[in-house]
Chain A
């Protein structure tokens, strides 16, 4: 017996221990943070064992522990699926969480409820791992809802701030809309395949109709901020930077994409769903890249960048490449978390300044953060042989050589060049030029709790792509030949974006525009989407309901219809019929004539 089962379950159990400790006195101690961080580190190391076993021997496992209940013919158990995806994702997620926990020991140092913060981060990690290792839809849904709840609690960490509460509610609402799709698919699978466990679903429905897959796509769109359900992600930047780094860049927002990856045996047979995913992803990636171009808050730019990369992942799923998508999830986690950590370092050092128009000249002042930021941006744009290259370049190559929708491809390429443009914007405004912040700042980055996480993620951003793509067993034949111009497409558009952005930034940094043009208003107002959806349609609905309730129902039907109408009719009738004018003589005269006539008629009847 090898260590596979025990190390997997040990990983999950190790993480529950600090949560259970929280009801004791230890929770109030200052050592609790170190305890949580060390537990995560140990869990990471323990999870390396199954991963290495998988790489070495391709051994997958299905752990089915505890039979919970059987309702008629539906059997619900506690079962963990340790296959390619969950085994590779667990170490990555644990590594990044370990680094972020160490970072948040520096970032949230002066927070009085720091222990609660760590507990929340840990519960989030546990639910995320439940989601990733779930073998049936019920357990997956438990993890799904769990990450949603923890996202709510963590975004509204500073709940005294109205914007934070609004953002947390917005996240919950948009995720709920996606949950409708999830429940629809669960119901369909229960109804048609009599089960919620993945193995039976894959066996019984090789060619499913579009409905369950549509439900899953809706769930992914809600959780992974695709177009139409995207506004919650930039608003979620109201939470502390470690939260943004963990939830809204590496782990939670990929849960939707992960769900679709899990269901790849079903989506690979349905062309309609693939086309839908392709179009949705392409639209998302371009739209959010446009919105990122003119944002002024550094965290929002990175949030839109995350959204754009999620769109790219959805596009890759639409090209029927789940394993490539998964590789992009893993590599993207590294450099995106690092970008958030660098932005956290900048924000804290500049005394909580988040507006890039008030940063500048940090190139010489924060050398380590500068290095990390630049490397992170390069990895994001797909600089050759950094991490992002191994997944992003492959995606673009696959897209250009597939028999697929050319419009989606064009949008993806435009979004790729825009990635370079907004990355240049970040670098230019925060690091280069002269400082634009007040001079009396004490800026230092000497604390090891700040440096070590960024250092680890930096090494990950440089080497992880190489290591992961060479360790992961290939699941489909790679593309061997393609024309030179297609091979160089991604590199060309990225370089074009860099050069263009740098030129424009340099030449126009001292100019100001008197009137905002329509295009910049489109980008700054996020495509008018929040304006229309959050303000216009509720206003219309509420006005219409008020008109219906008050004017139509109350005033018209209840008041005017019977009572007032009856009164009106009576009034009119009485004025009509009361025309007695008191002409007594006329009445008497007519009586006389009638009497005379009748007597004449009845007495002389011939």
Chain B
């Protein structure tokens, strides 16, 4: 593994840790989710370019499309939570019904 790959992988790992160990805001989880998507995109593009696997050039672009949708849904959920509670603290999410 070259150093570049390890760099990007560490970025991914840091974003993952940030997603799973956020403190109080749901927004930070969503931001870390975006960070994960970004690092995955960079990793995929670099690997494809360095191995000249041109046929797989579609994959990062499609990954980006789905990341955008996912971000939209995440933001919609955040807005709904914020409508109910006023803030987006995760400790409010302790009821199993709406």
Residues of A within 8 A of B (CB): 578, 580-585, 588-589, 591-592, 595
Q: How far is the CA of A400 from the CA of B14 in the complex (A)?
A: 123
Question: Is A582 a contact partner of B93 (Cβ separation < 8 A)?
Answer: yes
B5 within 8 A of A: no
B47 within 8 A of A: no
Interface 1/0 per residue, B61-98 and A, CB below 8 Å: 00000000000000000000000000000111111100
Q: How far is the CA of A578 from the CA of B17 in the complex (A)?
A: 29
Q: How far is the CA of A592 from the CA of B17 in the complex (A)?
A: 7
Stretch at the interface among B19-27, B37-45, B50-58: B19-27
Residues of B within 8 A of A588 (CB): 19-22
Q: How far is the CA of A592 from the CA of B21 in the complex (A)?
A: 8
Given the contacts A584-B90, A585-B22, A585-B90, A592 and B16 also touching, CB distance less than 8 Å = yes
Question: Is B21 a contact partner of A580 (Cβ separation < 8 A)?
Answer: no
Q: How far is the CA of A530 from the CA of B96 in the complex (A)?
A: 71
New contact pairs (15) apart from A583-B94, A588-B21, CB-CB < 8 Å: A580-B94, A580-B96, A581-B94, A582-B94, A582-B95, A584-B93, A585-B22, A585-B90, A588-B19, A588-B22, A589-B20, A589-B21, A591-B20, A592-B16, A592-B20
Question: Interface size on B (CB < 8 Å)?
Answer: 14
Residue of A nearest to B24 (CB): A585
Residues of A within 8 A of B21 (CB): 585, 588-589, 592
Residues of A within 8 A of B92 (CB): 582
Residues of A within 8 A of B90 (CB): 584-585
Interface 1/0 per residue, B1-43 and A, CB below 8 Å: 0000000000000001101111100000000000000000000
Question: Can you report 7 A-B residue pairs in the complex whose CB atoms are below 8 A from each other?
Answer: A582-B92, A582-B96, A585-B22, A585-B23, A588-B19, A588-B20, A592-B17
Please give the distance in Å from A583's CB to the nearest CB on chain B. 7
Residues of B within 8 A of A591 (CB): 20
Residue of A nearest to B94 (CB): A582
Q: How far is the CA of A588 from the CA of B22 in the complex (A)?
A: 9
Please give the distance in Å from B80's CB to the nearest CB on chain A. 15
Please give the distance in Å from A312's CB to the nearest CB on chain B. 90
Residues of A within 8 A of B96 (CB): 578, 580, 582
Residues of B within 8 A of A584 (CB): 90, 93
Residues of B within 8 A of A585 (CB): 21-23, 90
Residues of B within 8 A of A578 (CB): 96
Residues of A within 8 A of B22 (CB): 585, 588
Residues of B within 8 A of A580 (CB): 94, 96
The 7 A-B residue pairs with the shortest CB-CB distance, nearest first, are A582-B94, A592-B20, A588-B20, A584-B90, A582-B93, A581-B94, A580-B96
Residues of A within 8 A of B93 (CB): 582, 584
Please give the distance in Å from B96's CB to the nearest CB on chain A. 6
Residue of A nearest to B23 (CB): A585
Q: How far is the CA of A584 from the CA of B26 in the complex (A)?
A: 10
Residue of B nearest to A588 (CB): B20
Residue of A nearest to B29 (CB): A588
Q: How far is the CA of A582 from the CA of B90 in the complex (A)?
A: 8
Residues of B within 8 A of A581 (CB): 94
Q: How far is the CA of A396 from the CA of B90 in the complex (A)?
A: 109
Residues of A within 8 A of B20 (CB): 588-589, 591-592
Q: How far is the CA of A581 from the CA of B91 in the complex (A)?
A: 9
Please give the distance in Å from A73's CB to the nearest CB on chain B. 85
Please give the distance in Å from B78's CB to the nearest CB on chain A. 14
Q: How far is the CA of A592 from the CA of B29 in the complex (A)?
A: 14
Q: How far is the CA of A581 from the CA of B95 in the complex (A)?
A: 7
Q: How far is the CA of A595 from the CA of B17 in the complex (A)?
A: 11
Residue of A nearest to B19 (CB): A588
Q: How far is the CA of A582 from the CA of B93 in the complex (A)?
A: 6
Q: How far is the CA of A589 from the CA of B17 in the complex (A)?
A: 9
Q: How far is the CA of A595 from the CA of B92 in the complex (A)?
A: 26
Q: How far is the CA of A268 from the CA of B22 in the complex (A)?
A: 110
Q: How far is the CA of A585 from the CA of B24 in the complex (A)?
A: 9
Please give the distance in Å from B36's CB to the nearest CB on chain A. 13
Please give the distance in Å from B84's CB to the nearest CB on chain A. 13
Residue of A nearest to B96 (CB): A580
Residue of B nearest to A585 (CB): B90
Please give the distance in Å from A499's CB to the nearest CB on chain B. 100
Q: How far is the CA of A155 from the CA of B22 in the complex (A)?
A: 101
Please give the distance in Å from A484's CB to the nearest CB on chain B. 109
Please give the distance in Å from B82's CB to the nearest CB on chain A. 16
Q: How far is the CA of A592 from the CA of B16 in the complex (A)?
A: 8
Please give the distance in Å from B2's CB to the nearest CB on chain A. 18
Q: How far is the CA of A287 from the CA of B91 in the complex (A)?
A: 90
Please give the distance in Å from A241's CB to the nearest CB on chain B. 88
Please give the distance in Å from A585's CB to the nearest CB on chain B. 6
Residues of A within 8 A of B91 (CB): 582
Residue of B nearest to A593 (CB): B20
Q: How far is the CA of A589 from the CA of B16 in the complex (A)?
A: 11
Please give the distance in Å from A31's CB to the nearest CB on chain B. 99
Please give the distance in Å from B39's CB to the nearest CB on chain A. 16
Q: How far is the CA of A177 from the CA of B35 in the complex (A)?
A: 99
Residue of B nearest to A590 (CB): B20
Q: How far is the CA of A592 from the CA of B94 in the complex (A)?
A: 21
Please give the distance in Å from B55's CB to the nearest CB on chain A. 28
Residue of A nearest to B26 (CB): A584
Please give the distance in Å from A582's CB to the nearest CB on chain B. 3
Q: How far is the CA of A141 from the CA of B71 in the complex (A)?
A: 103
Residues of B within 8 A of A592 (CB): 16-17, 20-21
Residues of A within 8 A of B23 (CB): 585
Please give the distance in Å from B44's CB to the nearest CB on chain A. 19
Please give the distance in Å from A331's CB to the nearest CB on chain B. 98
Q: How far is the CA of A585 from the CA of B19 in the complex (A)?
A: 10
Q: How far is the CA of A582 from the CA of B17 in the complex (A)?
A: 20
Q: How far is the CA of A466 from the CA of B19 in the complex (A)?
A: 129
Q: How far is the CA of A175 from the CA of B16 in the complex (A)?
A: 99
Please give the distance in Å from A597's CB to the nearest CB on chain B. 13
Residue of B nearest to A595 (CB): B16
Q: How far is the CA of A331 from the CA of B90 in the complex (A)?
A: 112
Q: How far is the CA of A581 from the CA of B17 in the complex (A)?
A: 23
Residues of A within 8 A of B16 (CB): 592, 595
Please give the distance in Å from A577's CB to the nearest CB on chain B. 11
Residues of A within 8 A of B95 (CB): 582
Residues of B within 8 A of A582 (CB): 91-96
